Amino acid sequence: MTIWASIRASAPAMWTADEIAQLCYAHYNVRLPKQGKPEPNREWTLLAAVVKIQSPAGQTCDTTDKEAQVTKEVVSMGTGTKCIGQTKMRKSGDILNDSHAEIIARRSFQRYLLHQLHLAAVLKEDSIFVPGTQRGLWKLRPDLSFVFFSSHTPCGDASIIPMLESEEQPCCPVVRNWANNSSVERSENLEDSKNKRNCEDPDSPVAKKVKLGTPARALSGCVAHHGMLGSGKIKPDISSSNLTKEELAAAEGIAPGSFRVVDVYRTGAKCVPGETGDLREPGAAYHQVGLLRVKPGRGDRTCSMSCSDKMARWSVLGCQGALLMHFLEKPIYLSAVVIGKCPYSQEAMRRALTGRCQDIMALPRGFGVPELRIEQSSLLFEQSRCAVQAQRADGPGRLVPCGAAISWSAVPEHPLDVTANGFPQGTTKKEIGSPRARSRISKVELFRSFQKLLGSIAEDERPDSVRVQKLDSYQEYKEAAAAYQEAWSALRRKQPFASWIRNPPEYHQFK
Ligand SMILES: [Zn+2]
């Protein structure tokens, strides 16, 4: 993997995690409308974004200005907490299946990339892309890189975080007397009711609700910096652990006394069917780590993989998806992931996002697993569950996740797109199926933008992959992205990715 050493996209000193978080929170406050934001004191949401970093190295050589600045710009943003069930999926590509903030931010990023390709290939204007070596192919300007921000740890594997006995965590799972309760806890009925509860707050790594204390205490519960335990004196080494009893015992040996790993933060995302699943044993042995997980739905099973799994896939295949790969020499990789203040484990993040993707055999040229900087900011998103909980103290009513999702892309026309249940907010039942009932970041609309881009490029300037063969449906265009599909196959030969749930082909036949 030495070739990737030279492709590290950003020097460590170019930005701090707090700067990235602050920029995203400011963007959220200023650029996003009230529509789609949580109702004060009652709702919370999740926030994610892609930030473009321009290094001073890209400036012309005659720049003698020592204060040459790094430029940081939010190019896409998403909010949202929901995911539709399998029965609501549509073959026409006009519904958003997955509206978790990370996924909305990524689809909004694809919209931004399409616009930038239009600038480069059609309008021949300044763009983030410069010509590649082959006909019709483009590459990212070498002075640019992308940082992914999320206000919270991604759901799924990265959210299975060891919890230390000494921690005070009022808005986290209660450390209970498992010895007395375990047999009851494992009985079917309770299991069901617990799953139902998890579904209400599908994203949070904190699956159990706890009565609130004072605001100050509530906030302290959100500050679990497991990867940064002060002086480093106490570091339960559980990186390679599936948190089995044996390994836990070992972890306890390293962390004696009051710093035992007594439980894990839980994720509502369940293991994919057919896999060896969670042990569901009391306390820290509840989850099995490193597995693929499916997002919880509301009664209805979903087909959406957890954000941890999707982000792991981006680590190998890039963020651009199959369609855009037709125009690119190399995938668009993230150089870093920054997480806001929330329960967090550096080890769990590393394991989930890149650790599971090591040593993949036979990746095609241009693909790899580039180094990913992973950091946490100390700044809390003010509409996160923890923050809203703290602000409202003992306010009346239940705290619920906001049902809307906001998409924002750095594009000149209609940068905003607010949806609920996968359709533009306010869509009536009657309107479903009509062109106005489509989100701008739905599969069908992104495909339409892709086709429009292709159609605007002179025939002899088009990339070979879309010029020499006749392609029609969304599925055909995706399959024709040969290197991308080859990389995806290579990834699926590596565990745990073989059990990835893929939508049946009929969901991709639309034109
Ligand atoms: Zn998620």
Quickly list DSSP for 127-166. Answer: -SEEE-SSTT-EEE-TTEEEEEEESSPPSSGGG--EEETT
Cis peptide before 435 (omega within 30 of 0): no
Q: Which residues contact 470 (CB under 8 A, 6 or more apart)?
A: none
Q: Which range in 160-164, 179-183, 451-455 is most confidently predicted, on average pLDDT?
A: 451-455
**Residue 246 CA, ligand 1 centroid: distance in Å:** 30
Percent of the chain with pLDDT over 70: 76
Tokens for 482? 């040969």
- What does the pLDDT look like over 25-63, one tens digit per residue? 999 999 999 999 999 999 999 999 999 999 986 554 444
Reference 296, options 161, 98, 108; nearest CA is 98
Q: Which residues pair with 338 in a beta bridge?
A: 149, 375
Contact 78, 107 (CB under 8 A): yes
Q: Is the pLDDT of residue 10 over 90?
A: no
Q: Is the pLDDT of residue 320 over 90?
A: yes
Strand, coil or helix: what is 270? Answer: strand
pTM above 0.95, yes or no: no
Reference 288, options 239, 241, 249; nearest CA is 241
**Residue 296 CA, ligand 1 centroid: distance in Å:** 10
Contact 407, 78 (CB under 8 A): yes
Q: Which residues contact 70 (CB under 8 A, 6 or more apart)?
A: 14, 15, 53, 54, 55, 56
Output the CA–CA distances (angstroms, integers) from residue 75 to 31, 130, 380, 388, 475, in the order listed. 12, 18, 21, 26, 28
Tokens for 247? 């390994």
The count of C-alpha atoms lying within 13 angstroms of the C-alpha of 430, restricted to the half-sphere facing its C-beta, is: 0
Mean pLDDT of the chain: 82
DSSP state letters, 350-412: HHHHTGGGTT-S-PPTT------EEEE-SPPPTTSHHHHHHHHTT-SS--EE--EEEEEES-S
DSSP state of 208: S
CA 355 to CA 160: how far, in whole Å?
14
**Residue 203 CA, ligand 1 centroid: distance in Å:** 5
**Residue 340 CA, ligand 1 centroid: distance in Å:** 14
Contact 236, 261 (CB under 8 A): yes
CA 129 to CA 152: how far, in whole Å?
30
Place of tokens 């460590």: 12
**Residue 312 CA, ligand 1 centroid: distance in Å:** 13
Q: Worst-scoring range by mean pLDDT, 66-80, 225-239, 435-449?
A: 225-239
CA 392 to CA 385: how far, in whole Å?
11
Task: Say what the pLDDT of residue 165 is.
Answer: 66
**How far, in whole angstroms, is CA 451 from its chain's centroid?**
26
The count of C-alpha atoms lying within 13 angstroms of the C-alpha of 136, restricted to the half-sphere facing its C-beta, is: 20
**Residue 238 CA, ligand 1 centroid: distance in Å:** 23
Tokens for 90? 């549509």
Alpha-carbon torsion (222, 225, 226, 230), positive or negative:
negative
Residue 27 CB neighbours (<10 A): 18
**Residue 77 CA, ligand 1 centroid: distance in Å:** 15
**Residue 313 CA, ligand 1 centroid: distance in Å:** 14
H/E segment holding residue 448: helix 443-456
Alpha-carbon torsion (294, 297, 303, 304), positive or negative:
negative
- What does the pLDDT look like over 373-412, one tens digit per residue? 999 999 999 999 999 998 887 777 889 999 999 999 999 9
Q: Which residues pair with 417 in a beta bridge?
A: 407
Reference 172, options 239, 219, 226; nearest CA is 219
Tokens for 85? 């069930």
Label residue 116 by pLDDT band (50, 70, 90).
very high
Catalytic residue among 43, 102, 375, 445: 102
**Residue 315 CA, ligand 1 centroid: distance in Å:** 16
CA 491 to CA 3: how far, in whole Å?
19
- The one-letter code for the residue type at 211 is K
Task: Say what the pLDDT of residue 433 is.
Answer: 96
**Residue 339 CA, ligand 1 centroid: distance in Å:** 13
Contact 126, 134 (CB under 8 A): no
Who wins on pLDDT, 244 or 79?
A: 79
- The one-letter code for the residue type at 124 is K
CA 491 to CA 41: how far, in whole Å?
43
Q: Is the pLDDT of residue 262 over 80?
A: no
188 is catalytic: no
**Residue 469 CA, ligand 1 centroid: distance in Å:** 37
**Residue 451 CA, ligand 1 centroid: distance in Å:** 29
Q: Is the pLDDT of residue 506 over 70?
A: yes
- What does the pLDDT look like over 165-203, one tens digit per residue? 655 444 433 333 333 333 333 333 333 333 333 333 444
User: What is the separation, in whole angstroms, between the first and last Cα of the chain?
Assistant: 39
Task: Say what the pLDDT of residue 347 is.
Answer: 96
**Residue 54 CA, ligand 1 centroid: distance in Å:** 28
Reference 48, options 104, 112, 95, 131; nearest CA is 104
CA 319 to CA 308: how far, in whole Å?
14
CA 318 to CA 326: how far, in whole Å?
13
**Residue 423 CA, ligand 1 centroid: distance in Å:** 19
| Alpha helix (H) residue ranges in 210-320 | 215-220, 245-254, 307-317
CA 332 to CA 138: how far, in whole Å?
11
